[in-house]
Amino acid sequence: MPHEPALSIADRMRIMRQTRFGAFVPVLLALAAIWGYFGLIAPLFEYWSDPAADSIRFIFLSPRNIYNLFMQSAVIATLAVGITIVLLLGDIDLSAAATAGVCAALLGVLVLAGVPGWLACLMVMVVGTVMGAAQGLLIAYVGIPSFVVTLAGLLGYQGLMQKILPTGNLNVDDPFIRAIARILIPDMLGVVLAIGLVALVAASALRRQSMRRARGLELDSRFAIWGQIGFFAAITFATVLTLNSYRAVPLMIVLLVALTALIGWITTSTPFGRSVFAVGGNAESARRVGMKVNRIRVAAFGIVGLMAAIGGIFGASRFGSVSYTAFAGGSLLLESIGAAVIGGTSLFGGRGSVWNAILGALVIGSLGNGLDLSGASSADKLMFSGAILLLAVAIDAVSRPAGAAGR
């Protein structure tokens, strides 16, 4: 007897998240909810409840605050992009923030010793990669669970950072390093870049569609294609124009987007990226088709190390200093893992995207920023962040494929 079983909410969510753009929906909703609350509801409420206020003050959604929000979230996002790679494998990296801390401290010491800024940056990127890959070697070849190895890494690297920075603080005023956060892309160039980017995305989507037609493959719906292009264009132009109306697009954001695009391309469109997804989905399957699972693990942890080092450079550049609490000792680690997970990358491996990590970082950044603006205590911030993280993991657990539930 044919019958259509009614879809439960969990089923619907699962189906939605399996589509290419559906995975963006939960994190976008979370972002919209947070921005709506801090940007509209909170100021309106304040206006109505306080007779002394003479006008509504939309501080949160002001271009100035959005600019700060992007800069605050950039370091979290850089680490989250790296962490996403190991989450895709079904592993976790607890040492990313400590790695970033060691790299930033090393950077500070190197430039203090007179090493040119660009060379110091390259050196710490190599060091970060080695630090990550070393943990990967232990995980892949010795067979220690990644949780334990990177927990040990977290402790060890925290200690290492304290060794490098006995005072816990160091100013970085190398012009090259400061420039990463200080250089602004001129307004017009920013707009031109945005137009070029949107045109590129649109052209490649349309070219793909025409190639599909030429080869007689099933076609994407017109709605989906133009929806994707429109969505991408809206986000790009909104970002660039908002940032332009305060200052301009900072170089750091451009670098972050470029890096994410590169890593996103590697994960989705190359045999290496495919093998990362395969190992996360079914490591036994990957092994049987001849993939070198161990090497893939080491490479993935190397990439986290590299991204952590870049995060360290970005942080040092933005703060103009390196401090223990800003990296290894602070909340950066949990914020960046939280960003990756809130972005919709599964803790169970095999599902996720680096772009979502950036949106997740914005969610975490917005939450902190909004709570700061409304005068919440750090205790409130921690509890809110915990609740959001829990919600994200719950969505992840509920929307896992049914067949994988018992794995």
Partner 1 sequence: MTPPPHLRVSGIHKRFGGLHALRGVDFEVARGEVMALVGDNGAGKSTLMKVLAGAHLADEGSFWLDDQQVQVNGPTDAADLGIQIVYQDLALCENLDVSANLSLGAEPVKAGFGFLPRFLRPIDDLEMEIKAQKAIDRLEVRTLKSVRSLVGGLSGGQRQAIAIARAVGAESSVVMLDEPTAALGVAQTRQVLNVVRRLRDTNHAVVYISHNMRDIFEIADRICVLRHGGNVATWKTSETTPDEIVVAMTRGLDGGQGNAA
Q: How far is the CB of 228 from partner 1 (least distance, A)?
A: 15
Residue 275's CB is within 10 A of a number of other CB atoms, namely: 21
Q: How far is the CB of 313 from partner 1 (least distance, A)?
A: 24
**Residue 277 sits in the site that holds partner 1 (CB under 8 A):** yes
Are 97 and 308 spatial neighbours (Cβ–Cβ below 8 Å)?
yes
Q: How far is the CB of 20 from partner 1 (least distance, A)?
A: 10
Please report, as residue ranges, which positions from 10 to 49 form the binding site for partner 1 (by CB under 8 A).
15, 18
Query: Helix/strand/coil (H, E, C) string of 142-175?
Result: HCCCHHHHHHHHHHHHHHHHHHHCCCCEEECCCH
CA-based nearest residue to 370, from 38, 21, 2: 38
Please report, as residue ranges, which positions from 173 to 232 form the binding site for partner 1 (by CB under 8 A).
208, 211-212, 215, 217-218
**Residue 256 sits in the site that holds partner 1 (CB under 8 A):** no
**Residue 355 sits in the site that holds partner 1 (CB under 8 A):** no
Q: How far is the CB of 282 from partner 1 (least distance, A)?
A: 5
Site for partner 1 (CB under 8 A): which residue of 146, 275, 331, 336?
275
Burial of 143 (0-12, 13-18, 19+ CB in 10 A): exposed
Are 354 and 266 spatial neighbours (Cβ–Cβ below 8 Å)?
no
Are 361 and 75 spatial neighbours (Cβ–Cβ below 8 Å)?
no
CA-based nearest residue to 333, from 202, 208, 109, 150: 150
C-alpha span between 54 and 45 (Å, rounded):
13
Site for partner 1 (CB under 8 A): which residue of 79, 291, 322, 361?
291
CB-nearer residue toward partner 1: 94 or 259: 259
**Residue 4 sits in the site that holds partner 1 (CB under 8 A):** no
Q: How far is the CB of 211 from partner 1 (least distance, A)?
A: 6
Question: DSSP string spanning 227-258?
Answer: HHHHHHHHHHHHHHHHHHHHS-EEHHHHHHHH
CB-nearer residue toward partner 1: 171 or 270: 270
Question: Which residue(s) pair with 369 in the sheet?
Answer: none
CB-nearer residue toward partner 1: 182 or 295: 295
**Residue 285 sits in the site that holds partner 1 (CB under 8 A):** yes
Which residues would be at the binding site for partner 1 (CB under 8 A)?
15, 18, 208, 211-212, 215, 217-218, 265-266, 269-272, 274-275, 277-278, 280-282, 284-286, 288-291, 350-351, 401-404
